[in-house]
Amino acid sequence: MIRPDARIGRGAPENRTPTRFGLAVREADGDWLDAREELDGGPPPLRTTVTIEKPKTIIARNVSPDVGFDRSINPYRGCEHGCIYCFARPTHAFHDLSPGLDFESKLFAKPDAAALLRAELSKPGYRCAPIAIGTNTDPYQPIEGKWRIMRSIVEVLAETDHPLFITTKSDRVTRDIDLLAAMAEKELVSVALSVTSLTPEISRTLEPRAPAARKRLAAVKMLSDAGIPTTVAIAPVVPGITDYEMEHIVEAAGEAGARGVFYLPVRLPHEVAPLFRAWLDEHFAERAGKVMGIIQSLRGGRDNDPNWFTRMRGQGPWADLLETRFKRAVKKHGFPDERVKLRTDLFRPPQGAQMRLF
């Protein structure tokens, strides 16, 4: 039976209320549910809504020792791409919303982001270090086409010669090549495009509203041809579903001109795990047990391992196998063993900020 919350073109097969914060749970009950579609027809189309959010600051800080940045910006909350594995889904529970369908349809936008960023970069005590954007939700998701918040942020960073890391799975990033190419000439920007699967049938359910892999690889080529350091992130690798594609994606990244490539095993924190299990039952029921068995092998017997360092690599024989395969593929296709380093010495506060100090 099709799940009553399921929507064609959306990632989550349900919209379960989160329980971590003691919210009341509502669940439909009754024999009539077996004939819901016959009585009422299919569920109506799910419309995306956007709520304006007005935060007081825009730069988020972290002290995680296993990530390569200490600050980030999230122009949006929620993400219309609908990737079932997204580890940002649980953040919607903070708004009393479901990490399921609510996460990909009830979005929040921060139109004042550029003004807030300008104010924070103008503070006398600000010390420059690369800002990462796209580490939570995608800054180039579909609503960026209308809101252009990411574009306004990049404009401020370009103006101040501030270093920037971008992570996305959208070819919309090529819209900003004019700004990014100029920053790249000064060694101020690096872009990572996530390519999870080259198989359309898998991508349509795994990340239903994200651009096709061919579009992302075309974006890698466009960015690389413009002189912008671009890497391909095989993130996440889903064992039993996409892991067989690792070598093919590495090869495709090389053909597209990527400067580097990396991978991350799938993570299933908090409400992501039951959503992912429901997705497996919906689309890969014949191998659901095998997939979860491998994931738990990678995660020390649990659905998720939150510990620093191991959460990014996994542990055990499956983790070792993925690493071995990846290293061989990288060596075969001639990727250099280096990371892009961005300059911080060129930073200058926003225009007019120095005058306010006198």
> pLDDT tens digits for 300-323?
999 999 999 999 999 999 999 999
For residues 12 and 305, which has the higher predicted lDDT (pLDDT)? 305
Distance CA 119, CA 59 (A): 11
| pLDDT tens digits for range 83-117 | 999 999 999 998 889 999 999 999 999 999 999 99
The answer on pLDDT for 356 being more than 60 is no
Tell me which residue of 232, 245, 244, 299 sits closest to 272, measured CA to CA. 299
Mean pLDDT check: name the lowest of 13-22, 55-64, 72-81, 215-224: 13-22
| pLDDT of the residue at 10 | 87
| pLDDT tens digits for range 226-284 | 999 999 999 999 999 999 999 999 999 999 999 999 999 999 999 999 999 999 999 99
User: Per the structure block, which two tokens stand in for 261?
Assistant: 């490539």
Residue 262 · residue 234 · CB < 8 Å: yes
Distance CA 3, CA 14 (A): 7
| pLDDT of the residue at 355 | 41
pLDDT-derived band at 329, boundaries 50, 70, 90: very high
Distance CA 344, CA 276 (A): 40
| pLDDT of the residue at 45 | 76
Read off φ and ψ for residue 174, nearest 5 degrees: -65, -20
Give the distance between the most distant pair of CA atoms in the chain. 74
Would you call 95 exposed, middle or buried from its count of C-beta atoms within 10 A (0-12, 13-18, 19+)?
Answer: middle
| φ/ψ bin of 195: left (φ > 0), alpha (ψ from -120 to 50), beta (otherwise) | beta
Strand arrangement, sheet containing 106-109 = 49-52, 106-109, 76-77
Would you call 214 exposed, middle or buried from its count of C-beta atoms within 10 A (0-12, 13-18, 19+)?
Answer: middle
> Looking at the chain, how many residues does it have?
358
The answer on pLDDT for 203 being more than 90 is yes
Read off φ and ψ for residue 236, nearest 5 degrees: -95, 165
| pLDDT of the residue at 238 | 98
- Measure the CA angle with vertex 318, ends 91 and 99; round to 5°: 15
User: Per the structure block, which two tokens stand in for 203?
Assistant: 């991508």
Helix (H) or strand (E) holding 193: strand 189-194
Four-residue CA torsion sign, 296, 300, 305, 309: negative
* Helices 288-298 and 317-332: angle between axes, nearest 10 degrees: 90
Residue 243 · residue 235 · CB < 8 Å: no
* Helices 177-185 and 213-225: angle between axes, nearest 10 degrees: 40
Using the CB atoms, write b or e for 166-201: b if 16+ within 10 Å.
bbbbbbbbbbbbebbebbbeeebbbbbbbbbbbeee
CA dihedral angle for residue 270, residue 94, residue 65, residue 113, rounded to 10 degrees: 140
